[in-house]
C-alpha cells in the first residue's frame, strides 16, 4: 500500500462532472473552494493486499449476520440500539424473509502492514458510490495508471438488482411495474441526487423501469393506506436514500410500519438494516467476537457509553461516537491521558454513545502535509465488490475529506512514493 503522485488530466474537472461528480466543489467559510476529488495522487496496492482486504470484508459481513441474530434475540440490545418497539416485529419479519438488499460499505483502518480494522459499517444509506464505481474507474482507464483496480461495483450492482427483483417477482407472482428511487431535498450538494440517479441507471440496465423522485413527493393514500408517487403510481419497489431512523420518526413512519406488516412494498435498503446502521453494532460485534482469534483481529474493542467496561479504554484512548452520527459529526478522539486530540460538532448524540478503542488513522505524509486515509470496502449483494478511499488532513473523516482513486500493481518509472 503506497501513496503515489500522478499528473492531472487536462480538463479533468469537466470530465468528472460529466461522469456524475457534480458535487466536486465545496465552498469554504473563508470563501475558498475545495475540490473533493484528488486528481494528482492515488493509492497503489498489490493484488495480495486487495485479496486481504476482500477477505476481511467478507469475514466482517458474515460476523454482522451473526450479530443480527444476537441483537434480535435480546430486547435489551434492541433498546440500546434505539430500535422502536412498535417496529420490532417488522424488523424481525424482514430479517427472516430476507427481502431485497443491494449494498453497504465498511470503513476500515489499514496501513498496509497490520490487520484491517473495522471503524464502522455504513449499511443503510452509504454514499461516495458514484466516485467509487464510475469516476475512479474512468480515471484508471484514461490515465493508464496501474494494471488494474478493485472495482466490480457497476457489474455487481446491475446483477444485484436483477437477482433481487427476480426474487420479488417469484414471491408476489408478478413483475413490478416500476422501481422508484427516492432522495431527499435536504441535500444541497447534489450527492444524494446523483447517487440515486446512478442507481436508477443500474435498475434500467437490469431490465426494469426506474422512476427518480424525492422522499418529499411520496404520498400516502388514506383510503387504501398505500404509498404513491405524484402521478398516482403505487410504490411497489422503492429505493430510499433516506435513513430508516429518520423515516420511522416521520409523520408517515407508522404507515410505513403498517405497510411492512401486510403490504407488498419492498423498501430498499430493508428495515432490518436498522440492526446494522447504528454504531451500536460495534460493541455488539466486540462482545460477540472479542475471544475469537480470527474475527477479533479485524475489530477494535468497543463498548456502549454506559457500560462499566468502557473505562478499560482510558488507558488506550478512545473514539467517542454517537449511535447515529454521519460525516464525522460529533466524533471526539481522546488520547490515553484524557486529552482531546480531535473533535467535530454536530447535532447527534442525544440517542446515545459508543466508545471505541483509539486507532489513529495512518499518515501517508507527503510534501504537502499529512494524509490520513480511510478505506471504504463495498459489499454488493453480500459479497465484497470494490474499494473507495477517503483521505483527510486531520484525524476525523468528514464532508471535506477528499476522494482519492486507487490502482493495483502500479509500475511507473516516475513514481514518487509519498511514504
- Going across the sheet that includes 179-183, the strands are 210-214, 179-183, 237-241, 266-268
- 8 Å CB contact between 182 and 214: yes
Of 150-159, 335-344, 404-413, the least confident: 404-413
pLDDT at 211 over 80: yes
The mean pLDDT value of the chain amounts to 92
3-state secondary structure of 302: strand
H/E segment holding residue 284 = helix 281-289
Query: Can you give the pLDDT at residue 314?
Result: 95
The pLDDT confidence band at residue 419, using thresholds 50, 70 and 90, is: very low
Confidence bin at 102 (pLDDT 50/70/90)? very high
Q: What percentage of residues in the chain have a pLDDT greater than 70?
A: 98
Query: Residue 244 in 3-state DSSP?
Result: helix
| % of the chain at pLDDT higher than 90 | 81
Give me the long-range contacts of 46-49 (CB less than 8 A, separation at least 24). Answer: 46/408, 46/409, 47/148, 47/408, 47/409, 49/1, 49/112
- The confidence score (pLDDT) of residue 24 equals 93
Average the pLDDT over 399-403 and give the result.
90
Across the range 16-28, mean pLDDT stands at: 91
Q: Could you tell me the three cell numbers for 172?
A: 408476489
pLDDT band of 418, cuts 50, 70, 90: very low
* Mean pLDDT calculated for residue range 356-372: 93
- Grid cell, residue 262, equals 401486510
Using only C-alpha atoms, the chain has a radius of gyration, in whole angstroms, of 21
Q: Determine the average pLDDT of the residues in 199-226.
A: 94
Collapse the DSSP code of 154 into the 3-class scheme (helix H, G, I; strand E, B; otherwise coil) and give the result: helix
Which residues have CB under 8 Å from 33's CB, separation 6+? 25, 26, 27
Cell 440500539 -> residue: 81
Element (H, E) at 167: helix 153-172
- Backbone φ and ψ of 166, nearest 5°: -65, -40
* Closest by CA position to 149, among listed 162, 157, 138, 165: 138
In angstroms, the CA 209 to CA 229 distance is 14
Other C-beta atoms closer than 10 Å to the C-beta of 315 total: 10
* Residue 174 confidence (pLDDT) above 90: no
Q: In the 8-state DSSP scheme, what is residue 134?
A: I
Task: Look at residue 413 in the predicted model and tell me its pLDDT.
Answer: 37
Mean pLDDT of 352-365: 95
CA distance 359 to 88: 34
Per-residue pLDDT band at 213 (split at 50, 70, 90): very high
Q: Let me know: does 288 contact 66? Beta carbons within 8 Å.
A: yes
Does the structure show a pLDDT above 80 at 412? Answer: no
Q: Decide if pLDDT at 11 tops 50.
A: yes
Residue 338, sorted as left (phi over 0), alpha (psi -120 to 50) or beta, turns out to be left
How far CA 118 is from CA of 106, 110, 222, in Å, comes to: 7, 9, 44
Strand 383-392 relative to strand 372-380, pairing: antiparallel
pTM of the model: 0.94
pLDDT band at residue 222 using 50, 70 and 90 as cut-offs:
confident
**Torsion angle, alpha carbons of 278, 280, 284, 286, to 10:** 110
Q: What is the pLDDT of residue 168?
A: 84
pLDDT confidence of residue 59: 98
Please list the residues that pair with 108 across neighbouring strands. Answer: 118, 375
pLDDT band for position 50 (cuts 50, 70, 90): very high
Model confidence at 94: pLDDT above 90: yes
Name the band, by pLDDT with cuts 50, 70 and 90, for residue 367. Answer: confident
Q: Residue 327 and residue 210: Cα distance in Å, rounded?
A: 29
More confident residue, 346 or 279: 279
Is the predicted pLDDT of residue 137 greater than 60, yes or no? yes
Average pLDDT of span 319-348: 89
34-40: long-range contacts at Cβ-Cβ below 8 A with a sequence spacing of 24 or more? 34/400, 35/402, 36/402, 36/403, 37/131, 37/135, 37/402, 37/403, 38/391, 38/402, 38/403, 38/404, 38/405, 39/6, 39/8, 39/9, 39/12, 39/139, 40/5, 40/6, 40/7, 40/8
Q: What gap in Å lies between CA 203 and CA 181, rounded to an integer?
A: 10
Using pLDDT thresholds of 50, 70 and 90, give the confidence band for residue 263. confident
**Whole-number pLDDT of residue 56:** 98
Amino acid at each position: 500500500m503506497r501513496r503515489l503522485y500522478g499528473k492531472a488530466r487536462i480538463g479533468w474537472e469537466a470530465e468528472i462532472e460529466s461522469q456524475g461528480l457534480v458535487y466536486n466543489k465545496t465552498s469554504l467559510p473563508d470563501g475558498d473552494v475545495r475540490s473533493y476529488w484528488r486528481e494528482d495522487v492515488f493509492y497503489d496496492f498489490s493484488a495480495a493486499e486487495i485479496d486481504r482486504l476482500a477477505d476481511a470484508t467478507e469475514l466482517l459481513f458474515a460476523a454482522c449476520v451473526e450479530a443480527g441474530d444476537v441483537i434480535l434475540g435480546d430486547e435489551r440490545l434492541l433498546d440500546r440500539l434505539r430500535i422502536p418497539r412498535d417496529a420490532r416485529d417488522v424488523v424481525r419479519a424482514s430479517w427472516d424473509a430476507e427481502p431485497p438488499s443491494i449494498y453497504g460499505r465498511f470503513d476500515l483502518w489499514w496501513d498496509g502492514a497490520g490487520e484491517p480494522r473495522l471503524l464502522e459499517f455504513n449499511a443503510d444509506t452509504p454514499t461516495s458510490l458514484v466516485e467509487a464505481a464510475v469516476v475512479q474507474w474512468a480515471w484508471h482507464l484514461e490515465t493508464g495508471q496501474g494494471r488494474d483496480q478493485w472495482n466490480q461495483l457497476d457489474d455487481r450492482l446491475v446483477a444485484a438488482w436483477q437477482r433481487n427483483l427476480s426474487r420479488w417477482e417469484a414471491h408476489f407472482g408478478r413483475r413490478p411495474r416500476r422501481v422508484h428511487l427516492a432522495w431527499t431535498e435536504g441535500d444541497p450538494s447534489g450527492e444524494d441526487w446523483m447517487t440515486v440517479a446512478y442507481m436508477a441507471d443500474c435498475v434500467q440496465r437490469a431490465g426494469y423501469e426506474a422512476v427518480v423522485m424525492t422522499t418529499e413527493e411520496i404520498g400516502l393514500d388514506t383510503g387504501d393506506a398505500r404509498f404513491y408517487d405524484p402521478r398516482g403510481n403505487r410504490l411497489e419497489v422503492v429505493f430510499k436514500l433516506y435513513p430508516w431512523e429518520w423515516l420511522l420518526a416521520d409523520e408517515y413512519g407508522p404507515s410505513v410500519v403498517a405497510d411492512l406488516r401486510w403490504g407488498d412494498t419492498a423498501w430498499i435498503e430493508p428495515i432490518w438494516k436498522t440492526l446494522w446502521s447504528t454504531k451500536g453494532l460495534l460493541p455488539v460485534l466486540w462482545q460477540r467476537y472479542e475471544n475469537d482469534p480470527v474475527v477479533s483481529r479485524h475489530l477494535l474493542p468497543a463498548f456502549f457509553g454506559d457500560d462499566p467496561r468502557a473505562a478499560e479504554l482510558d488507558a488506550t484512548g478512545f473514539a467517542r461516537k454517537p449511535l447515529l452520527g454521519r460525516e464525522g459529526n460529533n466524533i471526539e478522539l481522546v488520547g490515553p491521558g484524557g486529552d482531546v486530540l480531535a473533535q467535530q460538532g454536530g447535532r447527534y448524540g442525544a440517542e446515545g454513545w459508543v466508545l471505541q478503542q483509539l486507532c489513529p488513522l495512518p499518515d501517508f505524509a507527503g510534501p504537502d502535509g499529512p494524509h490520513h486515509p480511510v478505506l471504504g470496502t463495498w459489499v454488493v449483494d453480500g459479497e465484497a465488490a470494490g474499494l473507495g478511499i477517503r483521505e483527510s488532513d486531520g484525524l476525523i473523516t468528514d464532508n471535506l475529506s477528499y476522494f482519492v482513486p486507487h490502482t493495483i500493481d502500479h509500475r511507473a518509472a516516475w513514481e514518487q512514493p509519498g511514504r
